[in-house]
Structure 1
Amino acid sequence: GADDIISMTYDGKGDVLMNLGKIDRSSRPLDNNTLNPPNLPNLDLPCSVTIRGSELAQAFRAARQVGDLVTLSIDQEKFTIHVSGPNDSVTVVYGHDELQGITCESPAKSQYSLTYLVPLGKVFSSIESVTIAFGENFPLAMDFTFSDGSGSVKYFLAPRVEQEGY
C-alpha cells in the first residue's frame, strides 16, 4: 500500500536487492564496462539553428494538432516550422533576432515525422538551448544538454522523402 516501505541493499556482488512487503526482487544494474557506445554518423549538415527548448516544444505541440509531418525550412534570416493538415495548417516563423543562433549558406527544407519529435517536446520544455542541424532532405540532428551540463544528447532522425510519381 501507500505506507509500505521499500528496502534496497547492494549485495557487493553486483546485484541490488529490493524488498516491498512480501516481495523480494534482485536486479543487476547496467554495467558501463559492458555497454558499447553507439556509432554516431559523421554528417556534415549544412544548416543549423539554436533555439530555446520551450519555444521548440510549443511549436511541435501546435504542429501535432494539425498533422503528422512537419516541414522545417531555414535560410540566412529565419527558421520556419510548418505543418499542413487536411483542413488547416500551422506555421511558426522565428526571425534571426528571435534565435540564439542561425547558420545557413543556402536555403534548405526537409520533412520529418512528428511521431518522433513531439515526445521530445516534453524534454525540451526545460532545456535552455536546442541546436537543430539539417539540410535539403538530410537527416535531422538535435543536440542539447541537461542538468546544468551533466548530460548531453545527440538525436538523429531520418527525413521523410517524398518520391515524385508516386
Structure 2
Amino acid sequence: MLHVVAESSVLKIIVETLMTQVEEARFDFYTDRLEVCAVDAANVAMIKMEADAALFDTWDLDECKVVMELAKMREVLTLAAAGEMVEIVFDDVANRIKVSVGKIERTLSPINEDNVRVPQRVPDITLNSVAKISGIELSRAFRAAKYVGEIVHMSMSPDELGITVPGPTDAVDITYSSSELEELNCENKVNSQYSLTYMLDLVKKLDSVNLITLAFGENEPLKMNFGFHEEAIKVLFLLAPRQDAY
C-alpha cells in the first residue's frame, strides 16, 4: 500500500520534468525518498530524479515500484489550484492508482514494468571539465539556439564556456567568461556537440533553477545536475554526443 500527499506544484515539477524525455516512468518509493530513472526510446538521453520524502505532507507506504503514464498524471495535476494538495494512493492488491484533487478522484491502471525502459544502472562517467551557470542564463541560451539549428556545439576552456549553433544562413554564438560563471574548472579546451531536440523541453523548466552544473569532455556525454525546492528534488540529465556532427 502507498499513500502520499503533496502540494500540486511539487508533483508537477516531478512529472513535467520527466515528460521532457519519456512518456512513462517507474516510480521507486523508498522509506525516505522517491527515485525515478528513465531513458528515452533512442537510448540517447537519460534522466534521474530523487525527491526527499520531507517534501510530502503525507508519506505512508511500504517500499514499492509503480509504473505510471505521465500524461495521465499531468491531466489530473492540471486540475489542481495553486497550493492545492494532491493525494496518491496505490493499492497493490487491486493494482490501481487513485489520484485525488479536491472532490475529483481519478483511478488509473499502472503500466506493466516490462513495457518501460528502466536503466539497470546510472553510467559512472568522470568528466573533468565543469562549469556552473544560472538556470536563467542557460535556458535563454538554448531558447535562442532553437531558432537557428538542431545541433548545439559546446566548448569549454580554462577561461570560458561557449555555446554555438550554426545554421544554413544564421548562427548563434554565446560566450561566458569565467567571471560570469559561478564556477569554471577546465584544464584543456574541450569540444562536443549535442542534439537540441532532447534539451529544448527540459530547458523550459530551468528558469526557476538557481544553479546548474554542466560537465562534458571531448566528444563525451553532457552531464547536467540541478535541483528544485532548495535541492530537495535533485535531477541528473545525461545526453550522448552527436558523433555524426563532426
Aligned CA distance change for structure 1 residues 26 and 145 (closer, same or farther; 3 Å): same
Distance in 2 between the 1:11 and 1:84 partners? 49
Q: Per-residue CA shift, 1:53-108, capped at 9, x if unaligned? A: 00000000111110000000000000000000000100000000000001111100
Contact kept in structure 2, 1:16 and 1:27, CA below 8 Å: yes
The 3 A distance-change label for structure 1 pair 121 and 13 is closer
Classify the secondary structure of the residue corresponding to 1:109: strand
Deviations 1:2-53 (A, max 9, x none): xxx99x9888945555699xx97433679xxxxx785111111120100000
Match for residue 44 of structure 1? 126
Partner residue in 2 for 1:89: 171
Is the counterpart of residue 77 in structure 1 residue 176 in structure 2? no
Provide the rounded CA distance (Å) in 1 between the counterparts of 2:162 and 2:207.
Answer: 19
Q: Which amino acid aligns with 1:26?
A: T
C-alpha distance in 2 between matches for 1:112 and 1:11: 39
Q: How does 1:103-122 map to 2 (within 5 A)?
A: 103-122=185-204
Q: Distance between the aligned counterparts of 2:175 and 2:88, measured in 1?
A: 52
Unaligned 5+ segments in structure 2 are 1-78, 81-85, 112-117
In the other structure, the counterpart of 2:37 is none
Structure 1 residue runs of 5 or longer lacking an equivalent are: 31-35
Distance (whole Å) between structure 2 residues aligned to residue 115 and residue 12 of structure 1: 34
Alignment of 1:151 onto 2:233: yes
Match of 1:59?
Answer: 141
Q: Which has the higher helix share?
A: 2
Q: Alpha carbons of 1:77 and 1:163: their partners in 2 closer, same or farther (altered >3 Å)?
A: closer
Q: Does structure 1 retain, via aligned residues, the 8 Å contact 2:193–2:245?
A: no
Partner-residue secondary structure (3-state), 1:162: helix
> Which string of whole-angstrom CA distances, capped at 9 and with x for unpartnered residues, describes residues 92-136 of structure 1?
000000000011111000000000111111111110000010000
Q: TM-score, normalised by structure 1?
A: 0.79
Which digits, 9 at most, give the CA deviation of each residue in 1:134-164, with x for residues without a partner? 0000000000011111110010000001377
Aligned length: 152
Mapping for residues 22-33 of structure 1, pairs under 5 Å: 25-27=106-108
Give the one of 219, 223, 236 matched to 1:137: 219
Answer yes or no: is the 8 Å Cα contact 2:223–2:238 preserved in 1: yes
Q: In 1, are the aligned partners of 2:88 and 2:100 still within 8 Å (CA)?
A: no
* Structure 1 letter corresponding to 2:189: P
Q: Secondary structure at the match of 2:234?
A: strand
Q: 1:120 aligns to what SS in structure 2?
A: helix
* 4+ long deviations beyond 3 Å: 8-20, 27-30
Q: Work out whether residues 9 and 16 of structure 1, in 8 Å CA contact, stay in contact via their aligned partners in 2.
A: no
- Alignment CA distance shift 1:134-1:16 (3 Å): closer
Matching residue's letter, 2:227: T
